[in-house]
A and B are shown apart, each in its own frame.
Chain A
Amino acid sequence: MSLSDKDKAAVKALWAKAEGKSSEIGAEALGRMLVAYPQTKTYFSHWGDLRPQSAKVKKHGATIMAALGQAVKGIDDLTGTLSALSELHAFKLRVDPANFKILGHNIILVLAMFFPADFTPDVHVSVEKFLQNVAWALSEKYR
Chain B
Amino acid sequence: MVKWTEEERCIIRGVWEKVDIDEVGAQLWARALIVYPWIERYFGSFGDTFTTTAILNNPKLAALGKIVLAALDTAVKNMDNVKGAYASLSRVHYEKIKVDPEHFRLLAECITISIACKLKAELSPQVQSTWQKFLSAVVDSMRSQYK
Question: Is the CB–CB distance between B102 and A90 below 8 Å?
Answer: no
Neighbouring A residues of B35 by C-beta, 8 Å: 143
The interface residues of chain B lying within 8 Å CB-to-CB of A142 are: 37-38
CB of B40 to closest CB in A, whole Å: 7
Which stretch of B7-15, B92-100, B111-119 is in the interface?
B92-100
Give the complex CA separation of A51 and B16 in angstroms: 43
Highest count of chain A CB atoms <10 Å: which of B36, B94, B100, B146: B100
Total A-B Cβ pairs within 8 A: 37
A111 CA to B41 CA, complexed, in Å? 32
Min Cβ gap A142→B in Å is 6
A89 to chain B: closest residue by CB: B38
**Distance in angstroms between the alpha carbons of A90 and B106 in the assembled complex:** 17
Contact of B98 among A42, A90, A98, A143 (CB under 8 A): A42
What separation, in Å, do the CA atoms of A97 and B103 have in the docked complex?
11
| Set of chain A residues within 8 Å of B41, measured between Cβ atoms | 94
Q: Flag if B100 contacts A38 (CB, 8 Å).
A: no
* B94: contacting residue among A42, A94, A95, A143, CB under 8 A: A42
In the assembled complex, B3 has its CB within 8 A of some CB on chain A: no
A96 & B100 in contact (Cβ 8 Å cutoff): yes
Q: Give the contacts of A95-143 with B (CB-CB under 8 A).
A: 95-99, 142-143
Interface size on B, residues (CB 8 A): 18
| Chain A interface SS verdict (over half) | helix
The distance in angstroms between the C-alpha atoms of A98 and B36, with both chains bound, is 12
Assembly CA distance A39 to B93 (angstroms) = 11
Given A38-B146, A39-B143, A42-B94, A98-B37 contact (CB < 8 Å): no
7 more A-B residue pairs beyond the given contacts A39-B100, A45-B98, A142-B38, with a C-beta to C-beta distance below 8 A: A38-B147, A39-B101, A43-B100, A90-B38, A96-B100, A97-B38, A143-B38
Q: List 19 A-B contacts (CB under 8 A).
A: A38-B146, A38-B147, A39-B100, A39-B102, A39-B146, A40-B100, A42-B94, A42-B99, A45-B98, A94-B39, A94-B41, A95-B38, A96-B100, A96-B103, A96-B106, A98-B102, A143-B35, A143-B36, A143-B38
Binding site for B on A (CB under 8 A): 38-40, 42-43, 45, 90, 94-99, 142-143
Residues of B within 8 A of A (CB): 35-41, 94, 98-103, 106, 143, 146-147
